[in-house]
Structure formats: C-alpha cells, structure tokens
Structure 1
Amino acid sequence: MSINKNKTIIEKSKKQAEWYILDAEQYKLGRLTSKVAYILKNKNKINYLPYQEGNSHIIIINSKKVQTTGNKSKQKIYKKHSGRPGGLKTEIFEKLQNRLPNRIIEHALKGMLPKNSLGRRLFKKVKIYPDQDHPHQSQNPLKINID
C-alpha cells in the first residue's frame, strides 16, 4: 500500500468567523484597501488557497476621513454611465467624499478583488461606515494596524 505524498490536502475550516476593525482616518486609500483585500483573500493565513474564501470579516470606520497623496483629492475623477446616450456622469474625489464617502473605498476595494463570484462573496464580508459608530460590537473585532 503506497501513499501518494503529492496530494494537496484541503481543510475546510469550520472555525468561527474572525472580525477585524480598521480606522480609515489613519491610512492612505491605497494602503488601506490593499491590506483589506489581502486579509479578505486569506493570504495572511498559512492555509491560503486562491480559490477558497476565508472566514474573515472587516469593519472599516471613518471612511469620510480617508486620505490620499498629492493632488488626488482635486484631480481624481470617478465616472459612471447610465447606458443611455449622453449619460456619462463624472465627479471629483472631494465631492464624492462629502456626498458618499463609502463609495470611494468600495470602488478601490472592488478593483483589488477577483472579478468573479469569489470576489463578489468576499466583498460582502466588508462593512464600511462613514464615522466611528458601527453595529458590530458583539463580534468583538480585533483592531489591526497596517505597517
């Protein structure tokens, strides 16, 4: 009886979900979202597989105070199109941050996640709030620092 040693052993974790909390006020937009994508994809664990989702949930608070470098707050443009002729709408970073602060982080994070059903499932595990208040105190989230 021989055992094949080249098989990949995939363990499905039934562990309780891990909750993390990040304060967007302390970080730049790109650094924040790349770290969130890294944790969501489970790359910080030893049993990382690119096609499996982890059991990490992330809470981002103070999204209206997220920072950018250089003149991006005056120059970065967000576009959306209604699909009809002449339906292109543009908005600069500053105005979008005042109107819908969560959309900035959502847009950046969606660009860093896989463009398939796995990416859509991972995106549902992120909760973004424009200020300090969030309804997830009972999950006892761990505060993490990006360094």
Structure 2
Amino acid sequence: MKSFMARPLEVERKWYVVDAEGKTLGRLSTEIARVLRGKHKAQYTPHVDVGDFVVVVNAEKVVVTGRKAEQKVYRRHSGYPGGMKETSYEQMLSRKPTEVLRKAVYGMMPKSRLSRQQFKKLKLYAGPEHPHGAQDPQTLEVG
C-alpha cells in the first residue's frame, strides 16, 4: 500500500463563490482558509498547493457577534518609535470593507511560502458583482 502524494501539475482546481452577506466573520474565514489550502479534498498533501480559488462577494455585509463591532481594533506599526496605529472595526469596514475579511482569513492560514501562494487564490469584492463569471464558479455553502 503506497501513500498518495499530489503532484503540482496534476492538481485540478475549481472555482467557488461565497456570499458573505449575514455570515459570521470567524466561521466564514475558517471555511475559506480550509478551501484555499485544499483540506476539503481527499488528495490533500501538506507540501503541495492543492487548494481551490475562492471568490467572496458582499464582503462588506459580514457580521460579528457580541460587541466586537465597537471593541475590535486592528493594529499596525510603521517601524518607527511611536509608530503604532490603531483602526477600529467600524472604521475599517467603512474605509476598506474587504480588508476585514482578508485579515481574518490570512490570520487562519499558516505563515509559510506555500500558504502565501495559496492566499493569492482568494478574490474579495465588497458588492455582489465579480468579474470571474468565465471560470463558472460553483456556490460554496458555508454554515
């Protein structure tokens, strides 16, 4: 009995479209990260990119539970003394609506060269329209 390892050239990629309207941020991003990595497939191989493309529409209509809408803070640092910048969830959602979901999915991916390559297969759109109709994406049901 030989163990199966996927080869990069033999991987069959699918396109999925996810409607984020009314979905919880964390639960949605874990499912997206799982599909991007390819863990939903039987031929999952840890060191090979077997994941699929994910197109997310209505990213601005994602919801958070509890009081996270008022309390959640995104921090970044410029590298200079006193360079800490803070942005609240509400400000981030109004300025860059897709960035909230992008940061959540990125945080759930491992930090490696392979996962950065897998992360590039995520396409986010704030509204209901996307330009990937030619790829004939299937709807991905996320609970």
Question: Could you state the TM-score of these two structures normalised by the residue count of structure 1?
Answer: 0.91
Give the Cα separation in 2 of the matches to 1:45 and 1:9. Answer: 13
Q: In the alignment, is residue 82 of structure 1 matched against residue 85 of structure 2? A: no
Map of 2:24 onto structure 1: 28
Q: Kindly report which structure 2 residues correspond to 1:28-107, keeping only aligned pairs within 5 A, or say none.
A: 28-107=24-103
Give the Cα separation in 2 of the matches to 1:59 and 1:124. Answer: 11
**Alpha-carbon distance, 1:53 to partner:** 1.1
Q: Which has the larger radius of gyration?
A: 1
Query: Structure 1 residue aligned with 2:124, among 111, 124, 128?
Result: 128
Hey, which bits of structure 1, 4+ residues long, moved more than 3 A?
Answer: none
2:37–2:51: 8 Å Cα contact kept in structure 1? no
Aligned residue pairs, count: 142
Give the Cα separation in 1 of the matches to 2:47 and 2:12. Answer: 20
Secondary structure of the equivalent of 1:49? coil
CA-atom RMSD, angstroms?
1.3
**Alpha-carbon distance, 1:74 to partner:** 0.4
Give the Cα separation in 2 of the matches to 1:142 and 1:136. Answer: 11
Secondary structure of the equivalent of 1:21? strand
Query: Structure 1 residue aligned with 2:3, among 8, 27, 32?
Result: 8
Secondary structure of the equivalent of 1:110? helix
Secondary structure of the equivalent of 1:26? coil
Secondary structure of the equivalent of 1:30? helix
Q: Any stretches of 5+ residues in structure 1 without a counterpart?
A: none
- Percent sequence identity over matched residues? 37
Question: Could you state the TM-score of these two structures normalised by the residue count of structure 2?
Answer: 0.93
Give the Cα separation in 1 of the matches to 2:33 and 2:15. Answer: 14
- The more displaced of 13-22 and 117-126 is 13-22
